[in-house]
Amino acid sequence: MIKEEALQILQQLRTQEISSYRVNKQDFLDFRSVLSEQGDMKNFRGNAQHGGEAIYTFEPGWTK
C-alpha cells in the first residue's frame, strides 16, 4: 500500500464516503504508519480480526 492510497482511504472514511475499510495483514503496518501521522488519529477506530486483518471506521469522540 502506498501512502497516497492510505491517505485517500482515510479521507473517504472522514467524509463518510465509505463507512469502513478492511486492512489486510500485508498492508497493516503501512496503513498504520500513515494513520499515526494524522492529527485526528484518535477519531479512527480499528477492530482487529482473525488472520491479522483490521477493520477501521471513523468515529469522532469514541475515546474520551
* 63 domain-assigned: no
Contact of 43 with 62, CB cutoff 8 Å: yes
End-to-end, the C-alpha distance of the chain in Å comes to 31
Q: What is the domain extent for residue 47?
A: 3-58
Q: Which residues pair with 45 in a beta bridge?
A: 57
Sign, CA dihedral 35-58-40-8, equals positive
12-55 tens-digit pLDDT:
999 999 999 999 999 999 999 999 999 999 999 999 999 999 99
Kindly tell me if the per-residue pLDDT of 64 is higher than 70. Answer: no
* 64 domain-assigned: no
9 to 13, 60, 62, 64: CA distances (angstroms): 6, 16, 20, 24
pTM score: 0.90
Domain count, the chain: 1
